[in-house]
């Protein structure tokens, strides 16, 4: 008889603690999204006509679809670069002593200790025509004229990869740290080589961390307004800058709101794919 009231008291106490967070979520996340959606249903800037005209305009405009496609491709490229560079770093972290681990983790976290604006301007200096890369290549006689690295897709990918690298490396370090080292030894003792052990043992067990890192990196890369706009300049247009131009420059708020909703749905679709893969990988790893 006494257990049921006690259980209800605990539930009521938990709901009371969660109420402020739920209220904050409703006021500062759900309400703005609803307002954006309501604004996107205006077919004109004056708000006199309602409908799905803004969405139809975006989905039938080759230029808008091209901007969305280039943004999604940018996220994939940045994620791939971070994965290729981040996995060896995480693997090395698990196989060195405590002192070297401290140095590696400090290097990984170093980008988070400085402002995104500062890091982006540093990349402008590095990638510029008179930057470090071009100056070094010219001094070595490898090139005669400076390479165009700034305001290119390559420059944006490299800068974003450096900015987002911790989001990939830290989950991988955690995932690899949970793998029992005896599994590697057992695989090698049974005749499997290093590469076979990696692909059959290490990689499957590290998939949860790998997918978590890919999710964080992808979502952060495609929404990185500052780095995209400064490194890409006026020659590279991605969804965050496209949205900004429609809202601030052209004052086309309904179309900007529709861009926001479509972009949000695209990001959620990609994240849901990563989430599904993460659940499957945990089941595979547990098996």
In whole angstroms, give the CA distance from residue 231 to residue 127: 9
Q: Which residues lie across from 42 on neighbouring strands? A: 50
Looking at residue 144, the DSSP 8-state letter turns out to be: S
Q: How many CB atoms lie within 10 A of CB 23?
A: 10
Give the pLDDT band of residue 8 (cuts 50, 70, 90): low
* % of the chain beyond a pLDDT of 70: 92
Task: Flag whether pLDDT at 88 surpasses 70.
Answer: yes
How do residues 161-200 score in pLDDT, each as one tens digit? 999 999 999 999 999 988 887 787 787 777 777 788 888 8
Report pLDDT for 4.
Answer: 53
| Average pLDDT of the segment spanning 155-160 | 94
| Tokens 């249903």, located at residue | 41
Q: What is the mean pLDDT of the chain?
A: 86
What does the block give as tokens for 256? 């900007």
Q: Roughly what angle, to the nearest 10 degrees, separates helices 153-177 and 62-93?
A: 40
In whole angstroms, give the CA distance from residue 210 to residue 281: 10
CA dihedral 72, 74, 80, 82 (to 10 degrees): -120
Report pLDDT for 9.
Answer: 55
Structural domain boundaries of the chain? Answer: 64-286
Task: Flag whether pLDDT at 33 surpasses 70.
Answer: yes
- Could you tell me which residues come within 8 angstroms of residue 67 by beta carbon, excluding any fewer than 6 positions away? 237, 238, 239, 242
CB 284 within 8 A of CB 206: no
Question: Dmax of the chain from CA atoms?
Answer: 87
How do residues 232-284 score in pLDDT, each as one tens digit? 887 789 999 999 999 988 889 999 999 999 999 999 999 899 888 877 766 55
Report pLDDT for 5.
Answer: 55
Domain 64-286 has CATH 1.10.3720.10: yes
């Amino acid at each position: 008889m006494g257990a049921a009231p006690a259980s209800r008291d605990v539930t009521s106490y938990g709901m009371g603690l969660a109420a402020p967070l739920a209220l904050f979520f409703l006021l500062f996340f759900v309400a703005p999204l609803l307002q954006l959606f309501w604004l996107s249903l205006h077919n004109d800037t004056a708000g006199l006509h309602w409908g799905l005209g803004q969405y139809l305009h975006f989905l039938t405009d080759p230029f808008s679809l091209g901007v969305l496609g280039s943004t999604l491709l940018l996220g994939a490229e940045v994620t791939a670069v971070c994965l290729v560079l981040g996995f060896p770093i995480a693997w090395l972290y698990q196989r060195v002593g405590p002192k070297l681990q401290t140095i590696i983790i400090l290097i990984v976290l170093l980008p988070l200790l400085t402002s995104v604006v500062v890091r982006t301007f540093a990349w402008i200096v590095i990638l510029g025509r008179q930057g470090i890369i071009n100056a070094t290549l010219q001094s070595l006689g490898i090139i005669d004229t400076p390479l165009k690295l700034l305001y290119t897709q390559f420059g944006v990918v490299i800068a974003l990869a450096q900015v987002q690298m911790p989001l990939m490396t830290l989950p991988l370090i955690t995932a690899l740290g949970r793998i029992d080292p005896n599994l590697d030894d057992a695989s090698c003792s049974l005749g499997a080589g290093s590469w076979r052990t990696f692909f059959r043992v290490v990689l499957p067990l590290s998939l949860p961390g790998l997918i978590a890192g890919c999710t964080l990196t992808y979502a952060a890369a495609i929404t990185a307004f500052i780095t995209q706009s400064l490194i890409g300049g006026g020659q590279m247009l991605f969804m965050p800058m496209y949205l900004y131009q429609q809202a601030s420059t052209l004052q086309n708020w309904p179309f900007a709101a529709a861009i926001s909703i479509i972009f949000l749905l695209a990001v959620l679709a990609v994240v849901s794919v990563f989430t599904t893969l993460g659940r499957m990988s945990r089941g595979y790893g547990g098996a």
